[in-house]
Amino acid sequence: MAFEPPASVDRKPETAQKPLRADAQRNRDRLVEVAASVFAERGIDASLEEIARRAGVGIGTLYRHFPTREHLVEVVYRREVEGLCAAAGELAARHASDVALEEWMRRFVDYIATKRGLATSLRILLTTNSTLFSDTSGRVSQALRQLVEAAVADGTIRGDVDASDVLHALGGIYSAPETPEWRDRSRRLVKLLMDGLRFGAGK
């Protein structure tokens, strides 16, 4: 305690560690799932005991799997980003590529919206744990690139932009001030952006 350890969550080696016992794996999954909804509902400071309770496990089990609150938050956050990015592939398969892009951006905005309230805690986590930041932002921009390139390739959006342009355009959303109309304004921004992208498509 004299020397509080760096607040970063330590990396577990990517080399898959021995598989968990079946019950342990079940509990762990359950905890992550419940934690995601409790954090969403009550904020990032939600009681860990409540999470354990709702997951139907003892508090000791929660702590064994996630030795600190930050461990749990990190896992939940990674899972959510992963889900968002995975949706890119599904949308691409099911819709015209410009529609897929638009829908994905809309989801992106919604997702950011849910995270606005947590901004300070999350920012601390992201600055503290730099791999978390680079991993997730890399994953997000990869998903976006996939969608933009597909839409450019089949001519449903103009060809003189790339994924990083779009990401920058979306970036404005992130930094916009926290007002009640934030969400609506962001949605308008996505629409506007799409109109711009569609304009002059197919040359």
- Residue 47 within binding range of DNA, rule CB under 7 A: yes
Closest contact distance (angstroms) between CB of 184 and its own copies is: 18
Per partner kind, with CB cut-offs from 5 to 8 A, the member of DNA, its own copies, none near residue 124 is: its own copies
Task: Give the CA-trace dihedral at 167, 170, 176, 179, to 10 degrees.
Answer: -150
DSSP 133-183: HHHHHHHHHHHHHHHHHHHHHTTSS-SS--HHHHHHHHHHHHHS---TTHH
- Residue 63 within binding range of DNA, rule CB under 7 A: yes
Query: Within a 13 Å sphere around the CA of 114, how many CA atoms are in the beta-carbon half?
Result: 18
- Residue 60 within binding range of DNA, rule CB under 7 A: yes
Distance of CA 96 to the CA centre of its chain: 24
Q: Angle at which helices 130-153 and 97-115 pack, to 10 degrees?
A: 160
Nearer to its own copies (CB atom), residue 68 or residue 142: 68
Tokens of 125: 């986590």
Nearer to its own copies (CB atom), residue 3 or residue 199: 3
Closest contact distance (angstroms) between CB of 5 and its own copies is: 9
Per partner kind, with CB cut-offs from 5 to 8 A, the member of DNA, its own copies, none near residue 191 is: none
Contact positions toward its own copies, by CB under 8 A? 1-4, 6-7, 42-45, 117-118, 120-121, 124, 128
Closest contact distance (angstroms) between CB of 4 and DNA is: 11
